[in-house]
Amino acid sequence: MNPFDEFPTREMANLSFLVSDIDDTLTLDGVLPAAVYAALETMRAKGIKVILITGRPAGWCDMIARFWPIDAVVGENGSFYFKPENGQIKRVWIDETETRTTNLAKLQVMAEQIVGEFPGTALAEDNPWRATDVAVDFAEDVEALPLTVAEQIRVRFEQMGATAKVSSIHVNAWIGSYDKLSMFERLLAAEYKLSVDDILTKTIYTGDSPNDAPMFRRFFLSVGMKSVTQYDMPKSDLPGFVTDGDGADGFMEVAEQVLQSKKNQS
Ligand SMILES: [Mg+2]
């Protein structure tokens, strides 16, 4: 990882997509600062497509798609995307309704068993708003547990036949091989008739944790918030660049540079 200061200026000036994680990337200590929201709005006004990619539930993403200044949101680690369109929300899911219902019931059984096996963890408070995955809380509404515990939980889910990823606060588990990147690729193809290769040199990805690894691996113009350094991630999973600040502070380092380069053009 190189310091964000070394991000190439030519690429910055050509940027057309800002793709970002939400928790601990746009937020700091659990709060979305006004400056970040304003930066997203300004970037869109400058013609940059803003696409958010999160492990958060469908219920949250419904609100984000309706209210936030964004072009689309991918949620539940790639299970769906919601896109505001002509005053309505277009919803595209990986699985049919029936499959989602069956899988969710299986995942809830797994999660309850795992919470019983790992003292101090809990079913995440945002589970009731999830449509396709479950989250076990190790650091949001419970006393923060070490990341080694989160990793053990991830392995346990995989032993049970689920796919699982660690974020900064939850271990999310789902059934299927999709991830943040695969759904982003589908969104690009369906909505913009583009592939990742088409936009590789024009896209910045910002994230902070192992569930961003599929995006960090694919986008060489990826930026990790400083806290990304606390995870024991293989080198290939790390972003190209890292900020000085954590969460929203780090994101604003990026946003200010993006907006500065657009200002220089106009
Ligand atoms: Mg995050």
47 Cα–ligand 1 center, Å = 25
192 Cα–ligand 1 center, Å = 25
Last-in-domain residue among 125, 147, 174: 174
Do 77 and 150 lie in a common domain? Answer: no
42 Cα–ligand 1 center, Å = 22
Do 159 and 183 lie in a common domain? Answer: no
CA 50: distance to chain centroid?
13
161 Cα–ligand 1 center, Å = 24
216 Cα–ligand 1 center, Å = 12
264 Cα–ligand 1 center, Å = 31
Contacts of 166 (CB under 8 A, 6+ apart): 147, 150, 151, 153, 154, 209, 210, 211, 231
Q: Is the pLDDT of residue 19 over 80?
A: yes
Residues spanned by the domain of 83: 2-94+178-265
Do 182 and 259 lie in a common domain? Answer: yes
149 Cα–ligand 1 center, Å = 18
Look at residue 265 in the predicted model and tell me its pLDDT. Answer: 73
CA–CA gap between residue 177 and residue 220 (Å, rounded)? 23
Reported as a single tens digit per residue, the pLDDT across 103-144 is 999 999 999 999 999 999 999 999 999 999 999 999 999 999
Look at residue 262 in the predicted model and tell me its pLDDT. Answer: 86
21 Cα–ligand 1 center, Å = 6
Last-in-domain residue among 119, 139, 174: 174
Reported as a single tens digit per residue, the pLDDT across 67-76 is 999 999 999 9
Do 87 and 13 lie in a common domain? Answer: yes
In the chain, how many domains are there? 2
Look at residue 195 in the predicted model and tell me its pLDDT. Answer: 97
Reported as a single tens digit per residue, the pLDDT across 162-210 is 999 998 899 999 999 999 999 999 999 999 999 999 999 999 999 999 8
44 Cα–ligand 1 center, Å = 22
34 Cα–ligand 1 center, Å = 18
30 Cα–ligand 1 center, Å = 11
Look at residue 266 in the predicted model and tell me its pLDDT. Answer: 60
Last-in-domain residue among 174, 191, 222: 174
Which pTM value belongs to this model?
Answer: 0.93
Contacts of 205 (CB under 8 A, 6+ apart): 19, 20, 212, 215, 216, 219, 221, 222, 223, 239
Q: Is the pLDDT of residue 78 over 90?
A: yes
Reported as a single tens digit per residue, the pLDDT across 218-266 is 999 999 999 999 988 999 999 999 999 999 999 999 999 999 998 877 6
198 Cα–ligand 1 center, Å = 26
208 Cα–ligand 1 center, Å = 5
Report whether 111 contacts 123 (CB < 8 A).
yes
Residues with Cβ–ion distance below 5 A, ligand 1: 21, 23-24, 168, 208-209
**Which residues is 196 bridged to in the sheet?**
none
181 Cα–ligand 1 center, Å = 14
CA–CA gap between residue 55 and residue 202 (Å, rounded)? 24
